[in-house]
Structure 1
Amino acid sequence: MSGNFFEALHQIATEKGITREMIEEIVQSAMLSAYKKQYGITKPVDITFDREKNTVKIISRKMVVRVPKNYAEEISLEEAQKIKPDAKFGDEIIVEENPLETFGRIAAQTAKQVILQKIKEAEKNIVYDEYKDKVNELINGYVQRKTKEALYIDLGKTEGIIPAREQSPLEHYKIGDRVKAIVLNVQKNSKGPSVVLSRANPKFVEKLFEMEIPEIYDGIVKIVNIVREPGLRTKVAVTSDRDDIDSVGACVGMKGVRIQSIVRELEGEKIDVIEYSPNKKVMASNALTPAKVKEIIETRDGGIIAVVDNDQYRLAIGKNGHNARLAAKLCGFNIDIKTEDQYREFLSSSESRALVEQLFATTSEGETPLEELPGLDARTITLLEAGGIFSVEDLVEKSVEDLMNIDGIGEKTAQKIINIIQEYVDFEDEDYEDEQEGKQEDKPE
């Protein structure tokens, strides 16, 4: 094979990022396919390369015969003696052939097709391997074409796609516009790797923060969580292990210069950067930014009631509830937002009494929760908590009359509770039963 052919082949390989070793494998595969096409057999042959001369040879073993009928396995005495002067009939000699001279037109065409096909496959694999390692990384490209369903981005070696669901409603692009996005995922298909990009994923905002804010890139300030509703608002919780670092200030920058560059990239989307706190009440208050929270009440089910002034209510809820939703997602628990009037109304309802009492009479460390007392059902526990009784230790101090004063508890239920206490609670004071009997005797006729 001519040196010019190899030079052209290596030039194509260099442009497409294919290694020399891979090119030689491709040529070897093409030569074997052409050999089969030429002779119609798959007899083992060797392919050797001379890198200095940029040549390739096919080496096979052939039998010396008078009149060759199968040129893949036989050679004439005259041709054999040109290779090995002392060759004679019946000998098996090693023959080196130049494919360019040996192959006919059809075999040569087969070799060409195989080479082109293998190069395309190698290029696809190279692109796939390159981009699969860039998942969740920022990448730049140019809008090549657009449809209602997606933007198609020229990435240089391949084409990326931003589906409509991965775009922000605020963004509008023209052909040729430069686009920054993260690689969401890479998949193999028959046409080559499919590179799916995103500008709506929270990870995109995280990468923008890493790019614009050195403290985050260096790990001095850490992003704990990001939640986002593209086009409306993004909330970012940040923290730092160093006491001398203002996490929020580092992200916002002097006069907001750092955060504004990210806002511009997001086409004006609002971004709230808040200080992360392991304290649920503090975290909930921070998460409801930009609204100012007046009071935070933690509920027994792990949620939060946030009380705000009347003029802060709409700000706390946000457009179509997006600020409240994002705050709850950022914190990882439910946040119930109420105005002062709504909260006062809530306090007046019987169902809220347990929640109110929790502010002042939560179970202390070392006390036994009512749930651990066998025989008490959930409804009875709820009624007891509404009456301000939160532990077994509180309960044993009550008489039947005390229990009957609680809304929803009658004489039978009260006596049942006393019987449960007597059966399951071990008392240091052996006079407990006598006291209860005394209280029963003192009951007015």
Structure 2
Amino acid sequence: MKIKNQQKKIVEALKSFAELKGITKEEIKKLLEESFQKALNKEYENDLENKEVMLPLFDISINLDEGKISIKRKWILTDKIISEEEINIKKNINDLNLENLNVLENLKIDDYYFEDIDLNAIEHDGFFLYVKQLFTQKVSEAEKVKIYEKFIDYKDQIVKAKVEKVALTHYLLSYQDNVIFLSKRETSKLDQFKFGDFVYVYITKIEKSSRDAQIIASRKNKEFIVKLLEKEIEDVADNVIRVEKIARQPGFKTKIIVSSSLEEVDPVGSIIGVKGQKIRPIIDELRGERIDIIEYSKDIDIQIARAVIPGKIIGTKKVSDEKYILVTEEKDFLSVLGKSGLNIKLVANLVDKKLDVKTKKMADEEKVSYHRIVIPTAYQNRSNRKNFSKIVDENYDENYDLLEDLASIEEYDDYDQELDKRY
């Protein structure tokens, strides 16, 4: 069956499809011409016995406003006998009807001329279906490039996206009419989302060639915490307070070492806020994950002593550059270790040392000599510093209960063995 008078309809349909994808008019014209070029090559290639022969050349012009497609086929003129393999690219000059073809009389051998091709004369539906297939593929590729170019600057940033689909292994979220892929392996045990929820995610990768979602996100990445702090805490965003180091077990606890570029600004109090009001939105976003904020110290002993909160140590012994022994009172031994040893494992990660914890009695019995730790007065008494928070070493436990109720985890025991394997 002949396809007649479909040019305008085809062009308008494909144009509308591409515009929905945000493709510009100039790009649509270019992609349509490329699609017809490839389809015509295939159409005429099928007539050749020798597939190695050069494909025919076409000059294609598409008027999107009028829905017209003009196609001319390029011929090379010759006065020699043409073999079947050359029939698609050459035409003997004696076979030309110069009047009908409107070819100039001074046309010479090896010159080119163009012959109009009537698309309505193509006698099967497959040609136009193939054009449509080629065009939609090209539009999809162009759309991916646009997404890549638009979101490449979002890499290593956080965005608030809407949960559109909850699958067995992942979530699909939408942000600015684009899809974000969040694997459940990149979430914590506390992250249980449902359709319609709005959640912050950290963009880790923008893929140009992905078949599905090109924007890949995480909520487990440690930098996710940094970006949440920058969003919620003005001093962090302004770089008055710097995040020096983070150790995290997603869904259980995060420890953060912070410093201040201004002596009068208390980095811990500025982040925690009065009664935890500043840190609370971050804990809520993390679905109750515990967060310990620790002030930076150049002294490794002091840094370790601050980092073991809510536990306390009375001394340290340097075994080597990589290993330290921590000494604690009997009553503080378990709080230094933490459940399943999680607290001390995070501290070890935070200070990048191997840590062995002993009670004072154990140290005395093993004749371990250790350096007594005294927390500097300036760290214990911050009442003269800006954004003072009561959450410091000597009364941290009182305020820590404020966060404790937000961090209850039913699956804690089930996760013990996995933690042991990891550490």
Give the structure-1-normalised TM-score.
0.66
Question: Which residue type is aligned with residue 165 of structure 1?
Answer: R
Give the superposition deviation at 1:294. Answer: 2.8
Aligned pair 1:22/2:40, yes or no? Answer: no
Counterpart contact for 1:210–1:216, Cα < 8 Å = yes
Query: In structure 2, do the counterparts of structure 1 residues 63 and 303 end up closer, same or farther at CA, with 3 Å as the change threshold?
Result: closer
Aligned pair 1:324/2:344, yes or no? Answer: yes
In structure 2, which of residues 266, 273, 285 is the aligned counterpart of residue 246 of structure 1? 266
SS of residue paired to 1:120: helix
Partner of 1:13: 18
Post-superposition CA distance 1:286-305 (Å, at most 9, x none): 11112233334434445333
- Structure 1 or 2, whichever has the larger Rg, is 1
Partner of 1:383: none
Partner of 1:191: 211
In the alignment, the residues of structure 1 paired with residue 336 and residue 118 of structure 2 have an alpha-carbon distance, to the nearest angstrom, of 78
Query: In structure 2, do the counterparts of structure 1 residues 52 and 160 end up closer, same or farther at CA, with 3 Å as the change threshold?
Result: closer
Post-superposition CA distance 1:372-413 (Å, at most 9, x none): xxxxxxxxxxxxxxxxxxxxxxxxxxxxxxxxxxxxxxxxxx
1:129-140 to 2 correspondence within 5 Å? Answer: 129-131=149-151, 133-140=153-160
Partner of 2:277: 257
Partner of 1:345: 365
In structure 2, which of residues 223, 228, 231 is the aligned counterpart of residue 203 of structure 1? 223
Partner of 1:47: 60
Post-superposition CA distance 1:140-165 (Å, at most 9, x none): 33334434433343456554443333
In the alignment, the residues of structure 2 paired with residue 300 and residue 37 of structure 1 have an alpha-carbon distance, to the nearest angstrom, of 72
In the alignment, the residues of structure 2 paired with residue 223 and residue 194 of structure 1 have an alpha-carbon distance, to the nearest angstrom, of 30
Partner of 1:273: 293
Question: Which residue type is aligned with residue 16 of structure 1?
Answer: K
Query: In structure 2, do the counterparts of structure 1 residues 63 and 131 end up closer, same or farther at CA, with 3 Å as the change threshold?
Result: closer
**What's the Cα RMSD here?**
3.7
In the alignment, the residues of structure 2 paired with residue 202 and residue 346 of structure 1 have an alpha-carbon distance, to the nearest angstrom, of 38
Query: In structure 2, do the counterparts of structure 1 residues 220 and 99 end up closer, same or farther at CA, with 3 Å as the change threshold?
Result: farther
Counterpart contact for 1:35–1:103, Cα < 8 Å = no
Partner of 1:385: none
Of the structure 1 ranges 315-324 and 25-34, higher mean CA displacement relative to structure 2 is found in 25-34
Of the structure 1 ranges 318-327 and 49-58, higher mean CA displacement relative to structure 2 is found in 49-58
Question: Which residue type is aligned with residue 58 of structure 2?
Answer: V
Q: List gaps (5 residues or longer) in structure 1.
A: 360-445
In structure 2, which of residues 85, 99, 102 is the aligned counterpart of residue 84 of structure 1? 102
In structure 2, which of residues 244, 248, 272 is the aligned counterpart of residue 228 of structure 1? 248
Query: In structure 2, do the counterparts of structure 1 residues 188 and 118 end up closer, same or farther at CA, with 3 Å as the change threshold?
Result: same
In the alignment, the residues of structure 2 paired with residue 86 and residue 152 of structure 1 have an alpha-carbon distance, to the nearest angstrom, of 62
Give the superposition deviation at 1:132. Answer: 5.2
Partner of 1:387: none
In structure 2, which of residues 61, 65, 71 is the aligned counterpart of residue 58 of structure 1? 71
Question: Which residue type is aligned with residue 34 of structure 1?
Answer: A
Partner of 2:412: none
Of the structure 1 ranges 221-230 and 83-92, higher mean CA displacement relative to structure 2 is found in 83-92
In the alignment, the residues of structure 1 paired with residue 343 and residue 118 of structure 2 have an alpha-carbon distance, to the nearest angstrom, of 72
In the alignment, the residues of structure 2 paired with residue 38 and residue 95 of structure 1 have an alpha-carbon distance, to the nearest angstrom, of 18
Give the superposition deviation at 1:265. Answer: 0.5
Post-superposition CA distance 1:395-443 (Å, at most 9, x none): xxxxxxxxxxxxxxxxxxxxxxxxxxxxxxxxxxxxxxxxxxxxxxxxx
SS of residue paired to 1:283: helix
Counterpart contact for 1:185–1:196, Cα < 8 Å = yes
Of the structure 1 ranges 287-296 and 77-86, higher mean CA displacement relative to structure 2 is found in 77-86
Aligned pair 1:304/2:363, yes or no? Answer: no
In the alignment, the residues of structure 1 paired with residue 149 and residue 350 of structure 2 have an alpha-carbon distance, to the nearest angstrom, of 34
Query: In structure 2, do the counterparts of structure 1 residues 179 and 5 end up closer, same or farther at CA, with 3 Å as the change threshold?
Result: same
What percentage of residue pairs aligned between the two structures are identical?
27
In structure 2, which of residues 300, 309, 315 is the aligned counterpart of residue 295 of structure 1? 315
Give the superposition deviation at 1:249. Answer: 1.9
Query: In structure 2, do the counterparts of structure 1 residues 79 and 264 end up closer, same or farther at CA, with 3 Å as the change threshold?
Result: farther
SS of residue paired to 2:204: strand
Of the structure 1 ranges 218-227 and 300-309, higher mean CA displacement relative to structure 2 is found in 300-309
Give the superposition deviation at 1:234. Answer: 0.3
Question: Which residue type is aligned with residue 353 of structure 2?
Answer: F
Post-superposition CA distance 1:15-50 (Å, at most 9, x none): 323344432332122111232244337222223355
Question: Which residue type is aligned with residue 59 of structure 1?
Answer: K
Partner of 1:213: 233
SS of residue paired to 1:258: coil
Q: List gaps (5 residues or longer) in structure 2.
A: 1-5, 49-54, 79-83, 373-423
Counterpart contact for 2:180–2:217, Cα < 8 Å = yes
Query: In structure 2, do the counterparts of structure 1 residues 151 and 255 end up closer, same or farther at CA, with 3 Å as the change threshold?
Result: same
Counterpart contact for 1:144–1:153, Cα < 8 Å = yes
Counterpart contact for 1:64–1:80, Cα < 8 Å = no
Counting matched residue pairs gives 349
Partner of 1:334: 354
Question: Which residue type is aligned with residue 84 of structure 1?
Answer: N
Counterpart contact for 2:205–2:216, Cα < 8 Å = yes
Question: Which residue type is aligned with residue 200 of structure 2?
Answer: K
Query: In structure 2, do the counterparts of structure 1 residues 148 and 71 end up closer, same or farther at CA, with 3 Å as the change threshold?
Result: closer
In the alignment, the residues of structure 2 paired with residue 49 and residue 135 of structure 1 have an alpha-carbon distance, to the nearest angstrom, of 38
Which one has the bigger helix percentage? 1
Query: In structure 2, do the counterparts of structure 1 residues 78 and 307 end up closer, same or farther at CA, with 3 Å as the change threshold?
Result: closer
In the alignment, the residues of structure 2 paired with residue 3 and residue 216 of structure 1 have an alpha-carbon distance, to the nearest angstrom, of 58
Query: In structure 2, do the counterparts of structure 1 residues 166 and 113 end up closer, same or farther at CA, with 3 Å as the change threshold?
Result: closer
